[in-house]
Structure 1
Amino acid sequence: MVVIPAGDFWMGSPDSEADREDDERRHRVAVSAFAVGQTEVTFAEYDQFCAATGRDKPNDAGWGRGTRPVINVSWNDAVAYAEWLSRETAQPYRLPTEAEWEYACRGGVAGERYCGGNDVGRLAWYVENSGDQTHPVGQKAANGFNLYDMSGNVSEWICSLYEGEYRGAEVKCIEKGTYGLLAMRGGSWGYRPAWVRSAL
């Protein structure tokens, strides 16, 4: 885990950003300190959870397991993994809020298009360089917080509801028993560069 310091940042994107979507309204957000995994959760890590709990292992699409990021995991599966990890370690784990995710992605630097800079090929596995599959975590450059693969490779579940425009859901986790459209961030190996941006 990497400890991310408290701070405030501009979430979303400026009107001038190329490929900007309507739901990326730029606004200032304060974030408390938190910790986040240095890489995406791997098959090796998730398979331990499956073995310990008797869950079926998710399909790897024939690409391999080990240090590749786990795929074919639902939001409920991701939450269950975090809850299991909390029990196993006696430390609190949960999915990040949308604001925490974007703050961590930006790595303490404002204005970068992708998570760690502006050179998508150096930072992300995406449609033009992925060979139509995931890749082992940590092979691309890290961002300013020393986090890997936040742009591309696989999309990441967060604990916030998607609202279509920012109205406060981005700074909190969904409450149990609440229903709505759940958000994912980061984009994946099959996405074009516009869809692996920091603000999306």
Structure 2
Amino acid sequence: MLRLPAGRFLMGEIGAVGLTYELPVHEVAVPSFSIGRYEVTFLEWDECHADGYCQQRPDDNGWGRGFRPVINVSWVDAKQFVAWLSVKTGQRYRLPSEAEWEYAARAGSQSTYYWGDAAATVCDHANALDIAGRMQRPNWFWSNYCLDGYAHTAPVGSFPPNEWGLHDMQGNVWEWVEDCWHSDYTGAPADGSAWVRGGDCSKRVNRGGGWGNHVRTLRSAKRDADMAEGYGDAFGFRVVREHPRQEPAAPPPPAAGESRPSGTRPPSSTSP
């Protein structure tokens, strides 16, 4: 997990290539939270399955399990995993909100991708559909004309992280987030919370693009949605851990022989 600072950012497609459902651009204030450095792996999922919380043991399509991102999991499946992780650790884990996800993916940038605006260098930064992948799928005409080394999913962390140390925020697998689908950002929360009122909650948002996509689908602002029970070989997720609320420290007890009048407070450490 990586703890991200609280901050404000512009959410949505800032450039000229935005689609209607990536607009309007709006400012969001995001509280501090922790997010997985990597997408959840088969190794982690299989432990959840062995404990009886994750009902499905998804197929890896013969691509390998271990440290590859878990695939063929639905939003409903992902919710089972975060419930298990919360019970196992005693801390509150959940899916990220869409705003948290984009805040983490941008890592302070306002560019098209976390690495800038250069689409041609995608294979240096992310796992998308490259020439090798296209050769195995000749009817897929949208490949990127470069080699990233993986025709399918890549083990998590195979590509450089963004400026905040997060790997595969763009590419590898689409990542489920908590939010219901809304056709645009009109009325979206400005506090970083998940948007679960209104919209179509039979569909849940996924972000980031995957191994089978063109670079244009890996834009930081790109969003899509699928049925909550839907799954496929390009769907995965990562987790968020909430920070406990900081309760004010209790005042120290009075020193021997002293008393504190009722209704007064101890001096603040910032008082003159």
TM norm. shorter chain > 0.5: yes
Cα distance change on mapping 1:154 and 1:27 into 2, 3 Å: same
Structure 1's consecutive aligned runs of 4 or more residues displaced over 3 angstroms after TM superposition are 115-119, 129-132
Aligned mate of 1:137, from 151, 156, 168: 156
Cα distance change on mapping 1:76 and 1:173 into 2, 3 Å: farther
> Is 2:26 the partner of 1:24?
no
In structure 2, the partner of 1:125 is 127
**How many Å separate the matches in 2 of 1:90 and 1:183?**
27
Gaps of 5+ in 2: 131-147, 223-272
In structure 1, the partner of 2:215 is 193
Gaps of 5+ in 1: none
Give the length in aligned residue pairs.
195
Work out whether residues 2 and 38 of structure 1, in 8 Å CA contact, stay in contact via their aligned partners in 2.
yes
Following superposition, the deviation at residue 15 of structure 1 comes to 4.6
In structure 2, the partner of 1:168 is 188
**How many Å separate the matches in 1 of 2:150 and 2:106?**
26
In structure 1, the partner of 2:13 is 13
In our comparison, the structure showing a higher alpha carbon Rg is 2
Cα distance change on mapping 1:173 and 1:81 into 2, 3 Å: farther
Percent identity over the alignment? 42
In structure 2, the partner of 1:37 is 36
Following superposition, the deviation at residue 173 of structure 1 comes to 5.2
Following superposition, the deviation at residue 132 of structure 1 comes to 3.4
Following superposition, the deviation at residue 172 of structure 1 comes to 1.6
> Is 2:134 the partner of 1:114?
no
**How many Å separate the matches in 2 of 1:42 and 1:115?**
22
**How many Å separate the matches in 2 of 1:116 and 1:125?**
14
**How many Å separate the matches in 1 of 2:161 and 2:41?**
17
Work out whether residues 117 and 143 of structure 1, in 8 Å CA contact, stay in contact via their aligned partners in 2.
no
**How many Å separate the matches in 2 of 1:171 and 1:122?**
33
**How many Å separate the matches in 2 of 1:88 and 1:117?**
39
**How many Å separate the matches in 2 of 1:12 and 1:146?**
22
In structure 1, the partner of 2:83 is 83
Following superposition, the deviation at residue 145 of structure 1 comes to 1.0
Following superposition, the deviation at residue 62 of structure 1 comes to 0.5
In the superposition, the TM-score normalised over structure 1's length comes to 0.91
In the superposition, the TM-score normalised over structure 2's length comes to 0.68
AA aligned to 1:90 is G
In structure 1, the partner of 2:46 is 47
Report the secondary structure of 1:188's partner residue. coil
Question: 48-57 or 155-164, which moves further after superposition?
Answer: 48-57
**How many Å separate the matches in 2 of 1:83 and 1:130?**
34
Question: 120-129 or 67-76, which moves further after superposition?
Answer: 120-129
Work out whether residues 188 and 195 of structure 2, in 8 Å CA contact, stay in contact via their aligned partners in 1.
no
> Is 2:105 the partner of 1:105?
yes
Instruction: Map Cα deviations across residues 70-126 of structure 1 (whole Å, 9 max, x no partner).
Output: 0001101101100100000001000000000000001122x2212343442222100
Following superposition, the deviation at residue 144 of structure 1 comes to 1.2
Work out whether residues 10 and 29 of structure 1, in 8 Å CA contact, stay in contact via their aligned partners in 2.
yes
Greater RCO (CA < 8 Å, at least 6 residues apart): 2
